[in-house]
Structure formats: C-alpha cells, structure tokens
Amino acid sequence: MAQALLNVRIERKHFDAVTVLRNIDLHLDPQEIVSLLGPSGCGKSTLLRIAAGLERDFSGAVSRSEQGADVAFVFQEPRLMPWLTVAQNIGFSAGADYDAPWVRQLITEVGLDGFADALPKQLSGGMAQRVALARGLYSRPQVLLLDEPFSAVDAFTRMKLQDLLLQLAQHHGIALLLVTHDVDEALYLSDRVLVMGSQQPSSIRLGLDVPLGRPRDRRDAELGRLKGEALTELQLAHVI
C-alpha cells in the first residue's frame, strides 16, 4: 500500500439526497492494470472522476505517491477540439508551443502516421479515440484513467484499440484504471477486476484476480474459465 501510485478512499459521495458511493477503498500499484466493472448507473464513472480530481465534492481522500504521480484521463468520447488538427489536439495541454517531436512519436505509436494535420471531422470514431489516447499520453503520466474508452466503437475496432492500449501501457510503463461494462474487456485487459453492484449506494462488491501472463490470447481457455467464474460470482453477488 505504501508504494501504491494512487489511493482512493471514499466514505460517502452523494448527489443531493441520493448516496451513490459508500465505503470504497482502492489502490493502484505501479504498472498495474485494474478494471472497474459494473452496470450503467452504478457510479463507476463517478468513482473514476473522483480519482481524476474532476469531482471534489465527496467525503474521503485521494492520495498519490510521494513522487507525485501524474494522472491523465481519457473520456468515453474522444472530446477532441474540432478546430485543432490531430497534432494540435495531442499537444493541447501545452498550447501552441507543444513538444512537436514527442507528438510525432505519439502519432506513430497510435498508428496515425500521415494524419498529423487532419481535422477531427475527417477521422473515424476509432481514429479519433486513438488521438484521445495519444493526448492522454502527452503529459507522460504514470497513471492513465479511462472511462469506458472503447464503448462507442465497433467490436473489431475495440479489439484493436484494446491491444494498442496494452502495448502503450507496457511501453511507457504506466498503470491503468479502466471503467467498463464489458466482462470480456475487463478480463482481457486487467490484472485485477473490481466489480460494482447496481444497488444504491454502491461499493466494490468483489475483486477478481486475473493471474495470466501477457500477451494474452482471446481464445485462451483459461480466460473462458475465468469468465464463467466471474459470471457465477456476479450472480451470487446479485450484480446480474
């Protein structure tokens, strides 16, 4: 716990009279990949926004490691500035004097060579989300928080983007905290899966370890077995 990059402790988070989160304690170790899995409306996005510091109105605490781990956020939608080119969007946090060689490298890493000067309106959904990933990496974060980043793209694009995400996380040595409602995605990507229930107020119902090496094979029987196990536990926990 001491050397965890990110610690989030929430005693209570409420919107007006409704308590949405209660008694949550989660930590993220260096280079660890953790998924928050749960149905729509269970408060998992709120939890992620609290971890990102976008939501400050709650009782509890968010702490980062002593080195001050930099945290970046990737939204569910690409949220690119439509008036800026791909390169300008990636360097958006730095403004006009962004680090051009670093942006060029990121463009190559996310597979968008030749699109540096394209406008967002010329990109497909998957390409736009690649730009959003690169923008998240621009600040060289140690932790990347992702809010259902691939839920708006088709299944084939999603698989490619998942592999891209794993590759980027490994290459840059960053930890991922990912919100998803897709059991397969959670198991394929994560070291740990934290399951949240749908009853209000929600908290983390159970944690599943995924003790598999990488790279993983989506057809791996072990993944299938883990999915069966997860589904059983989800049922027992009355999540589904």
Partner 1 sequence: MTSKSKTLPLSTERSWKPAFDSAAWKRRAKGLVLPVVALLALEFVVRIGWVPPYQLPAPSDIALTLRDLAGGQLWNHIGASLLRVLSGFAIGAGLALLAAAWVGLSREAEAYLEPTFAGLRAIPSLAWVPLLLLWLGIDETSKVVLIAIGAFFPVYLNGVAAIRNIDRKLVEVGQMYGFSATQLARRILLPAALPGLFTGLRSGMSLAWMFLVAAELIAATKGLGYLLTDGRETSRPDIVLAAIIVLAVLGKVCDGVLAKLEQHFLAWRDAFTGNSAGPTEN
How far apart CA 99 and CA 115 sit, in angstroms, is 17
Count Cα neighbours of 180 within 13 Å in the Cβ-side half-sphere. 23
The yes or no reply on residue 157 touching partner 1 (CB under 8 A) is yes
The yes or no reply on residue 236 touching partner 1 (CB under 8 A) is no
For partner 1, give the closer residue by CB, 2 or 155: 155
The yes or no reply on residue 127 touching partner 1 (CB under 8 A) is yes
Residue 165 CB coordination number (10 Å): 23
Write out the binding residues for partner 1, residues 78-97 only, by CB under 8 A: 79, 81-84, 92-93, 95
> What residues have CB less than 8 Å from 65, skipping those under 6 apart?
3, 4, 5, 6
Span from 15-23, 126-134, 204-212, 214-222 in contact with partner 1 (CB under 8 A)? 126-134
**Closest distance of CB 181 from partner 1, Å:** 20
Write out the binding residues for partner 1, residues 2-21 only, by CB under 8 A: none
Span from 7-15, 60-68, 124-132, 219-227 in contact with partner 1 (CB under 8 A)? 124-132
The yes or no reply on residue 63 touching partner 1 (CB under 8 A) is no
101 cis-preceded (ω within 30 degrees of 0) = no
The yes or no reply on residue 55 touching partner 1 (CB under 8 A) is no
Span from 9-17, 37-45, 77-85, 213-221 in contact with partner 1 (CB under 8 A)? 77-85
The yes or no reply on residue 120 touching partner 1 (CB under 8 A) is yes
> What residues have CB less than 8 Å from 206, skipping those under 6 apart?
194, 195, 233, 237
The yes or no reply on residue 108 touching partner 1 (CB under 8 A) is no
Q: Contact residues for partner 1 (CB under 8 A)?
A: 52, 54, 73, 75, 77, 79, 81-84, 92-93, 95, 111, 114-115, 117-127, 130, 153-154, 156-157, 160
